[in-house]
Structures are given as C-alpha cells and as structure tokens.
C-alpha cells in the first residue's frame, strides 16, 4: 500500500499546485492555456509507448497501443505547435 | 536503467511542466514557458523509450509518425477562428489515448487477448491478483475502469463538441428524460465498472463500460447549444486531464499523475470562470435549458418604431470627432473573419488621435480567450484588450462603443429586468456610453433567444450587414474624412 499512498499524495498536492498556478493565468491567455494543457495531457504518450512496445505476444495490446501512441502524439505535437503559434502572436509587441 | 533514475527524470519533466504553466501567467514569458513544457515532454518520452526492455518498435514508430504528421498539419493549417474546434479535437484525442492505454493494460494483465471479434466478449478466468497483490490489484482495477469510463466519454463528447462548433451538427438532440436518462446511463456504467473490479475476467462487463461511456459522451453534449460551448470545452479539457492522471495510477507513473492533475484543475477552473460569467451553475449549463421564466417578451414591442439605423459613413463622422472609442467583439466577428478589418479601423481612428480599447466579455466567442487570440492574430497589442471588470467603469467616459457580432453579453435586461431569463448575468455596460453602434445582420435574437432593448435605445445606431464589409466601409470613410 506504500506506493499507492505516495501516488495519492502526489496527486492531491498537484491539484493544489494546479489551482494556485492556473488562477494566475490572465484571461487573455486562456485559449493558449487550453491548447498548452492539451499538449501536457499528451504525457499519456509515456503510457502508450509501454503498451505499443509490448513484445508482440498480445497483438490486440499492440494495436491498442498503436492507437494510443497516435492519439497522444497528435496531442503533443499539435498542442505544442499550435500553442507556440498563438503565443508568438502575443509576443510580437 | 535503474528505476530510481527513471523516476528522477520523470520528476524533472514534471517540474518543467509546472514551470511551463507558470510561464503562461505573463504574455512575455509565455513562449519560453511553452518550450520548457515541450522539453519536459521530450525527456519524459526519451527516458521511457530507453527504459523499455524487449521492445517491438514497429507500432511505436508507426504511431509516432502518423501522430506527428496529423498533429503538425492540424496545428499549422488551422485558422485562428477555428481554434475552439482544434481544442475540442485535442481534448477528444487525449481522452481516446487514456481509454486505449487503460484497455491495453487490462488485456496485458489478463494475459490473454481475444483472437477474433467473436471472442472479444468471452469471459476469461482471472482474479484481481493478476493486477497486483492484495489491495493494489483492486485499486488498479478501479483505476482502469474509471479511466476507461472518463476516457471514452471525453472522446465521444469532444467529437460532438467538434461537430457542433464546425456546424456539422446544428440541431440539439438528447436522451428522453434528459438529466435522468443520463444519470441512469452513468449509474449503469459505474455498476459495470464495479463488476469488472469484482470479476476481472468478465470481459463482457469491460465491453459494457466502453459502450455505455461512449454513448454517455454523445448524450451529454448533444443537447448543448453553441454559446454554451465554452463551458463544455473547458469541462472536457478537465476530463482529459483527469483521465491522464487516473492512467498514472494504473501504471504507477508519477509524471502522468502530476501532468494529469495540472490539466484537470486547469479545465475545472476555466469551467468555473465561464459559469460565473454566465451567472449559471454547471448543472444548469449541462442539463438545463435557459429558463423560460417570466412573461415572454415580444420582440416587436421592444423594437417597434424605436430602432435607428445608420450607414457606415455616418458612423465614420461620429468616430472622427470622438475622443474615446471601445470596440466590443463577439462570436459574429469570428464568423465574419473581421478581426483584421477591425484592427485597421482602430488604426485609422488612432491616426486621428482617438483613444481605442477593446472590451472583452469572458464568454465572448466559443471558448475562453477566443477573442483575445483573434485580435492578437490581427496584431492588436494585448494591453488594449481589457477585461469586463476593468472596462465597465470606463463606458461613461466613452464617446462611441462599436459592438460587432456580440449580443447577449450587452443586453441591459440582464442588469435591469428582474425575472428575465438572463437576469444576473454580468454584462458589458455599453449602454452607458454616449453613442452605441451595433454592427449586425438583422435584429434576430442571440443565443438566449431574447430581444435586446439596447438596439432600441435613443443613443443606439444599428448598422445592418456583413461585419467585415461594414467595418471596411467605416475605415475608408474615416480615412477620406
């Protein structure tokens, strides 16, 4: 049970940190915030890699993993690129 | 690689994500923040790949290539006006990724996968010990079930949101029974999750969770109309984060938990901001209709004989002598792609010594911050974009307000008429200005379905027609003056 309690602690503390951080983001940047957090939620790519890289004894797991890698990569690549595109427009001045 | 090293590097990635979001608290540091966040993602992925033992790279490479191509094409091609659709899709993909990861983990732990579709739902002999010793196995199963549930409903819910924003789906459908129907679906899905926890080998129960959750996502979002989309997108954004954090519990992965909870809280906070800006509870947005309360207000009675219309060149004469002008944009400006034209009009006014600012209502547009991004695209400096609370006290000292494509967020009934369906919603008090110019195609009502008494006020001028064309004509007339 030790590891679970640690993970739970991490989860709860991250929630509080999230509230502190996000409330400081000005409304003018709320759209880039959303696309940026989309990119961050692409961190599921880490889990997807583990599934897709399964040694091949379970074909269905590989296929599910492939779908997961594809979707998560779209989030990571698409999310960071489009956020960068938007933020560059704000920075110009 | 040593597990401790891997987890240490995940910690660094988590810190980079946090610094990335911290960067977003100021426009000046935002680009760097985004890059730090991307760097965190890169090292998390690299260390994961290095740490894998027996690996079949075929599926990994295929997924990364397809995902990168699709992601970059979407990101580089998308128009700024369509950003809500893009975010809706990304929310859905995030949910889909968590869903498939949870299912993959489920089948891996079961140690057997169906050879054909016919076998897909055949029960397998297994107990929770396959998922971890003692309570850990149970917790892993609960996490898998909930990730599947939230991931699947985020996937279909976001696809419906996308279809609505793209105007592929114009009507609103819902389950008979509305909220009660949805609640029954949710309870049935939770019962199926409980069944999986008790009987991990019950593959049919897992299939039921997937099916019910996919349907629930459809039914939850289908009844919700366009102007409520900011709330829906923010909420789905939150769900995609929560699903990622839950997936972290399945895999015992720290960086998934940190990143997922940051995204989850971000979505929830934005949801709350949007609800406050509409003076509605979340339950009301999700399940309610706009209250039909009070006596119905007859549009003809409000408008009859009281509406003054004007031509763009007449407005230009007003603008020329004004000292201070506030531009109030709404979704109509996005529809007309008028953001560049609006900036040029502002330039023309500023060249004549007029002070110009923009008043931005939190729910203007189809997602939080939608108007700000459009105007930033048109190279309007961000310090000219003023939030509702700060712009409202200035309207009394404003000579002309130009409302372009906004309606409900300027409706004085929300402030003055108790019993009106939108009473209590914070609005931009544009009617306090000396003159209000409203650029609009017709007198048709906004999303709330209410007439807007602003249009009939003595100091309001209606300019009918396409927003972009009207603004361009004003600019031309002003430049010639």
Average pLDDT over residues A34-49: 93
Interface contact flag, B60 A53, Cβ < 8 Å? yes
Greater confidence, B333 or B113?
B333
Give the helix/strand (H/E) hosting B308: strand B308-309
Catalytic residues of B: 408
Q: By the CB < 8 Å criterion, does A63 face chain B?
A: yes
For residues B54 and B46, give the distance between their C-alpha atoms in angstroms, rounded to a whole number.
16
For residues A66 and A51, give the distance between their C-alpha atoms in angstroms, rounded to a whole number.
8
- Neighbouring C-beta atoms of residue B183, cutoff 10 Å: 13
Spatial CA neighbour of B218 closest among B266, B288, B260, B169: B169
Q: Which residue has the tokens 């409900």?
A: B408
- Neighbouring C-beta atoms of residue B399, cutoff 10 Å: 17
DSSP B240-273: HHHHHHHHHHHHT-HHHHHHHHHHHHHHHHHHHH
CA–centroid distance for B404 within its chain: 22
Greater confidence, A46 or B417?
A46
β partners of residue B387: B360
Average pLDDT over residues B66-81: 93
**CB of B281 closer than 8 Å to CB of B400:** no
CA–centroid distance for B247 within its chain: 23
Q: Tokens for B73?
A: 């094409």
Spatial CA neighbour of B244 closest among B132, B90, B369: B90
CA distance readout (Å), B98 to A41, A89, B153, B241, B250: 10, 32, 11, 9, 11
pLDDT tens digits along B282-293: 877 776 554 444
B144 burial type by CB count under 10 A (0-12 exposed, 13-18 middle, 19+ buried): buried
Q: Which residue has the tokens 């008494």?
A: B453
- Tell me the chain A residues in contact with residue B257 when contact means C-beta distances shorter than 8 Å: 7, 10-11, 14
Q: By the CB < 8 Å criterion, does A53 face chain B?
A: yes
Q: Tokens for B1?
A: 């690689």
Q: Tokens for B28?
A: 């000046």
Helix intervals (H) in B199-326: 203-221, 229-251, 254-278, 282-287, 299-303, 312-321
Q: Tokens for B261?
A: 């909870």
To the nearest 10°, report the CA torsion of B77, B79, B82, B85. Answer: 20
Q: What is the number of CB-based contacts under 8 A between chain A and chain B?
A: 367
For residues B387 and A21, give the distance between their C-alpha atoms in angstroms, rounded to a whole number.
20
- Tell me the chain A residues in contact with residue B28 when contact means C-beta distances shorter than 8 Å: 91
Q: What is the mean pLDDT of chain A?
A: 89
Query: For chain A, how many residues are written?
Result: 93
- Tell me the chain A residues in contact with residue B113 when contact means C-beta distances shorter than 8 Å: 58-61
Q: Answer left, alpha or beta for residue B192, where phi above 0 means left and psi between -120 and 50 means alpha.
A: alpha
Q: Tokens for B37?
A: 């966040």
Greater confidence, B401 or B304?
B401
Spatial CA neighbour of B244 closest among B147, B156, B137: B147
For helices B339-351 and B370-377, the axis angle rounded to 10 degrees is 60
Nearest CB neighbour to B27, from listed A29, A46, A49: A29
Q: Which residues contact B1 (CB under 8 A, 6 or more apart)?
A: B47, B50, B51
**What pLDDT score was predicted for residue A93?**
52
DSSP E strands in B376-434: the ranges are 385-387, 400-404
For residues B135 and B148, give the distance between their C-alpha atoms in angstroms, rounded to a whole number.
20
B28 burial type by CB count under 10 A (0-12 exposed, 13-18 middle, 19+ buried): exposed
**What pLDDT score was predicted for residue B408?**
87
- Neighbouring C-beta atoms of residue B264, cutoff 10 Å: 26
Q: What is the mean pLDDT of chain B?
A: 87
Average pLDDT over residues A10-25: 94
Interface contact flag, B27 A25, Cβ < 8 Å? no
For residues B272 and B97, give the distance between their C-alpha atoms in angstroms, rounded to a whole number.
26
For residues B124 and B432, give the distance between their C-alpha atoms in angstroms, rounded to a whole number.
70
- Tell me the chain A residues in contact with residue B45 when contact means C-beta distances shorter than 8 Å: 45-46, 49
Closest chain B residue to A33 measured between Cα atoms?
Answer: B24
Average pLDDT over residues A53-74: 85
Interface contact flag, A90 B27, Cβ < 8 Å? yes
For residues A42 and B35, give the distance between their C-alpha atoms in angstroms, rounded to a whole number.
15
- ipTM over the 0.90 cut-off: yes
For residues B256 and B249, give the distance between their C-alpha atoms in angstroms, rounded to a whole number.
8
**What pLDDT score was predicted for residue B143?**
93
pLDDT tens digits along B85-139: 999 999 999 999 999 999 999 988 887 656 555 566 666 666 667 777 777 788 8
- Tell me the chain B residues in contact with residue A27 when contact means C-beta distances shorter than 8 Å: 273, 360, 362, 368-369, 372, 387
Give the helix/strand (H/E) hosting A43: none
* Angle formed at CA B239 by CA B335 and CA B382, multiple of 5 degrees: 45
**CB of A77 closer than 8 Å to CB of B68:** yes
CA–centroid distance for B240 within its chain: 12
Spatial CA neighbour of B106 closest among B141, B150, B60: B141
Nearest CB neighbour to B34, from listed A11, A28, A84: A84
pLDDT tens digits along A76-85: 999 999 999 9
pTM: 0.89
CA distance readout (Å), B101 to B129, B142, B143, B264, B443: 20, 14, 12, 18, 50
CA distance readout (Å), B170 to A41, B48, B165, B284, B368: 30, 43, 9, 21, 21
Helix (H, G, I), strand (E, B) or coil at B195: helix
Interface contact flag, A47 B136, Cβ < 8 Å? no
For residues B423 and B420, give the distance between their C-alpha atoms in angstroms, rounded to a whole number.
5
Greater confidence, B202 or A53?
B202
pLDDT tens digits along B10-48: 999 999 999 999 999 998 999 999 999 999 999 999 999
Interface contact flag, A22 B265, Cβ < 8 Å? yes
For residues B141 and B440, give the distance between their C-alpha atoms in angstroms, rounded to a whole number.
55
For residues B331 and B335, give the distance between their C-alpha atoms in angstroms, rounded to a whole number.
6
DSSP summary character for residue B115: S
């Amino acid at each position: 049970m030790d590891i679970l309690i640690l993970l739970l602690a991490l989860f709860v503390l991250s929630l509080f940190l999230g509230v502190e951080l996000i409330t400081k983001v000005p409304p003018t940047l709320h759209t880039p915030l959303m696309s940026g957090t989309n990119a961050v939620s692409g961190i599921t790519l880490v889990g997807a890699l583990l599934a897709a890289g399964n040694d091949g004894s379970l074909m269905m797991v590989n296929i599910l993993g492939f779908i997961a890698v594809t979707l998560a990569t779209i989030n990571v690549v698409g999310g960071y690129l489009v956020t960068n595109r938007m933020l560059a427009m704000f920075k110009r001045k | 690689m040593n597990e401790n090293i891997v987890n240490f590097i995940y910690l660094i990635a988590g810190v980079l994500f946090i610094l990335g979001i911290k960067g977003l608290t100021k426009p000046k540091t935002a680009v760097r923040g985004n890059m730090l966040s991307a760097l965190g993602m890169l090292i998390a992925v690299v260390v994961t790949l290095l740490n894998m033992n027996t690996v079949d790279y075929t599926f990994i490479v295929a997924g990364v290539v397809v995902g990168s191509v699709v992601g970059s094409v979407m990101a580089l091609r998308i128009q700024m006006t369509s950003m809500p659709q893009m975010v809706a899709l990304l929310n859905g993909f995030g949910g889909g990724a968590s869903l498939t990861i949870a299912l993959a983990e489920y089948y891996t732990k079961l140690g057997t996968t169906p050879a054909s579709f016919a076998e897909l739902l055949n029960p397998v002999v297994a107990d929770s010990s396959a998922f971890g010793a003692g309570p850990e196995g149970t917790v892993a199963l609960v996490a898998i079930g909930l990730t599947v549930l939230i991931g699947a409903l985020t996937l279909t819910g976001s696809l419906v949101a996308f279809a609505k924003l793209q105007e592929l789906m114009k009507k609103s459908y819902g389950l008979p029974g509305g909220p009660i129907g949805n609640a029954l679906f949710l309870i049935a899905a939770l019962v199926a999750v409980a069944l999986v926890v008790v009987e991990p080998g019950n593959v049919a129960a897992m299939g039921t969770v997937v099916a019910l959750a996919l349907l629930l996502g459809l039914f939850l979002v289908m009844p919700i109309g366009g102007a409520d989309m900011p709330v829906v997108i923010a909420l789905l954004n939150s769900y995609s984060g929560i699903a990622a954090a839950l997936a972290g519990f399945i895999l015992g992965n720290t960086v998934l938990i940190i990143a997922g909870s940051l995204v989850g809280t971000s979505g929830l906070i934005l949801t709350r901001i949007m609800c406050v800006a509409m003076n509605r509870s979340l339950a009301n947005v999700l399940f309610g209709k706009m209250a039909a309360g009070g006596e119905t207000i007859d549009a003809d009675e409000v408008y009859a004989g009281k509406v003054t219309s004007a031509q763009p060149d007449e407005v230009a004469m007003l603008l020329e002598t004004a000292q201070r002008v506030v531009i109030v944009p709404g979704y109509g400006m996005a529809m007309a792609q008028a953001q560049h034209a609006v900036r040029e009009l502002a330039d023309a006014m500023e060249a004549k010594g007029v002070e110009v600012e923009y008043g931005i209502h939190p729910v203007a547009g189809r997602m939080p911050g939608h108007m700000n991004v459009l105007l930033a695209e048109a190279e309007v400096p961000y310090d000219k974009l003023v939030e509702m609370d700060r712009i409202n006290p200035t309207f009394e000292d404003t000579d002309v307000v130009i409302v372009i494509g906004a309606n409900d967020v300027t409706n004085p009934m929300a402030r003055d008429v108790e019993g009106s369906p939108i009473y209590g919603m914070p609005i931009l008090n544009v009617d306090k200005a000396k003159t209000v110019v409203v650029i609009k195609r017709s007198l048709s009502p906004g999303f709330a379905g209410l007439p807007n008494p602003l249009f009939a006020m003595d100091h309001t001028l209606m300019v009918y027609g396409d927003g972009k064309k009207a603004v361009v004509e004003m600019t031309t007339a002003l430049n010639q003056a």
